[in-house]
Amino acid sequence: MRGYLGKTMKAVAVLALTTGVARAEGSVEVLHWWTSGGEAAALNVLKQDLQKEGISWKDMPVAGGGGEQAMTVLRARVTAGDPPTAVQMLGYDILDWAKQGVLANLDAVAKKDNWDAVVPDAIKKFSKYDGHWIAVPVDVHSTNWVWANKHVLDSLGIAQPKTWDDFIAAMQKVKDAGKIALAMGGQPWQEATMFDGVVLSVGGPEFYKKAFIDLDPAALGGPQMVEAFKRMGQLRSFVDPNFSGRDWNLASAMVIKGDAAFQMMGDWAKGEFLRANQKPGVDFECFRTPGTEGDVTFNSDQFVMFKVGKAQQPAQDAMAEAVMSPAFQSSFNVVKGSVPARTDVPDTAFDACGKMAMAQLKAADKNGTLLGSMAHGHANPAAVKNAIYDVVTANFNGQYSAEQAAKELVKAVALAQ
């Protein structure tokens, strides 16, 4: 992997020079929450690229897999009149900042490199505001994934589950063998990430859209949502007693080490497997939450540029252009576990899981089943997302029955709108 990255960085530098990226003196202060091993390795690709362009990188990491802590720090910085140059951001958070008129305009770079032609509309919904480019998509993640330790499954004679009932039976077999069936961390965003896939498995893309994007009360409180909460109860029975507060990458490590069989997590988890020298199909398996094949719930990390003065604009433009170059989109996402935000990047450098994810993304985009992740702020604004979090967490921790949770979900969403 290190050798591949070295070659890739040379390719990125050559591409930058041959496509007319001006060498820009300056620096960028970047606020982000990519602090796990796999994430940090992926981010280093961008740091090195910008350094080759004469731009120094001032790192401002804020730990927390869902980004909530980073957004708290950002609000304090902006309130103090000292915003960072660039900020990692997701979904509706981008649009909320755009409405405040504090984001830089990236139209010149976008027009020069024809971003409109290569970025899917579902992603552009969060990259553009009022017709103007205000963010640079770095990747496309999807949340309805399951990661499994292949050695554990093989030792127990467990085939990759195709249906929800198969999945439950597989986890029961792991539990009966004395191992942890489902590795997770008891954090609201992690529970909500699982819920993305669970809701989709119950009612498919139409139900998911009605519930989480249209916020239809009949869908939010109906029998299919009750079933979704019942399935969360099933999952809860396979989690170890020490799950509360565990970070997502530590849950990934449990699967990598063979201490647990499965993890339901977005494809950023794959970066942890790759960093541990694990190979798909040999050491681990990747598959969609059973019942959601062909559907994709996505989130897209984007870099938002704040208005920090004309002197910094060249450095911001250079960063934006570097992020959107096909070479970077390939090299970064190979390491990160995600797929490119551009549809014209070849899958040559990607592993089996990556190739599958890229093909599924294109198919879902074409079929209209590329759906914004509720758990990661791409289905509705933060107030609604957080209201759903509260109900999902309360149900997962036994405070609400499935029937009570569905009723509370209708109330919570109505109050948050």
Residue 247 in tokens: 């970070």
269 occurs within a structural domain = yes
Q: Are residues 17 and 110 in the same domain?
A: yes
Residue 283 in tokens: 């050491």
Query: Helix H segments across 134-187?
Result: 150-155, 164-176
- Residue range(s) defining the domain that contains residue 314: 2-141+300-359
Cα–Cα distance measured from residue 337 to residue 247, given in angstroms and rounded to the nearest whole number: 18
Could you tell me if 28 and 85 are in contact, meaning their C-beta atoms sit under 8 angstroms apart? Answer: yes
Question: According to the model, what pLDDT value does residue 257 have?
Answer: 98
Could you give the number of structural domains in the chain?
2
Question: According to the model, what pLDDT value does residue 335 have?
Answer: 86
Q: Is 404 helix (H, G, I), strand (E, B) or coil?
A: helix
Q: Are residues 120 and 77 in the same domain?
A: yes
Cα angle, residue 313 at apex, residues 311 and 316 outer, rounded to 5°:
130
Q: Are residues 96 and 196 in the same domain?
A: no
Q: Are residues 86 and 42 in the same domain?
A: yes
Q: Are residues 261 and 314 in the same domain?
A: no
Q: Are residues 125 and 166 in the same domain?
A: no
Q: Are residues 266 and 391 in the same domain?
A: yes
366 occurs within a structural domain = no
Q: What is the CATH number of the domain that holds 63?
A: 3.40.190.10
399 occurs within a structural domain = yes
Please state the separation of Cα 179 from the chain's center in Å. 28
364 occurs within a structural domain = no
Q: Are residues 314 and 348 in the same domain?
A: yes
Q: Are residues 350 and 378 in the same domain?
A: no
327 occurs within a structural domain = yes
Could you tell me if 158 and 170 are in contact, meaning their C-beta atoms sit under 8 angstroms apart? Answer: yes
CB atoms within 10 A of CB 193: 28
Query: Which uninterrupted H or E stretch holds 285?
Result: strand 284-288
Residue 108 in tokens: 């010149």
| Per-position DSSP letters for 288-341, written without gaps between them | EPTT-TT-EEEE-EEEEEB---GGGHHHHHHHHHHHHSHHHHHHHHHHHS-B-S
Q: Are residues 60 and 165 in the same domain?
A: no
8 occurs within a structural domain = yes
Query: Which uninterrupted H or E stretch holds 141?
Result: strand 141-142
Phi and psi (nearest 5°) for 110?
-65, -40
Query: 319-351, pLDDT tens digit by residue?
Result: 999 999 999 999 989 988 899 999 899 999 999
55 occurs within a structural domain = yes
Which pTM does this prediction carry?
A: 0.85
Q: Is 149 helix (H, G, I), strand (E, B) or coil?
A: strand
Question: According to the model, what pLDDT value does residue 65 have?
Answer: 66
Q: Are residues 235 and 317 in the same domain?
A: no
Query: 256-302, pLDDT tens digit by residue?
Result: 999 999 999 999 999 899 999 999 999 999 999 999 998 999 999 99
Question: According to the model, what pLDDT value does residue 24 have?
Answer: 45
Q: Are residues 398 and 252 in the same domain?
A: yes
Question: According to the model, what pLDDT value does residue 3 have?
Answer: 40
Phi and psi (nearest 5°) for 15?
-60, -45
Q: Is 378 helix (H, G, I), strand (E, B) or coil?
A: coil
Question: According to the model, what pLDDT value does residue 17 have?
Answer: 30
Cα–Cα distance measured from residue 271 to residue 139, given in angstroms and rounded to the nearest whole number: 13
**What are the residue ranges in the chain where pLDDT is below 50?**
1-24
277 occurs within a structural domain = yes
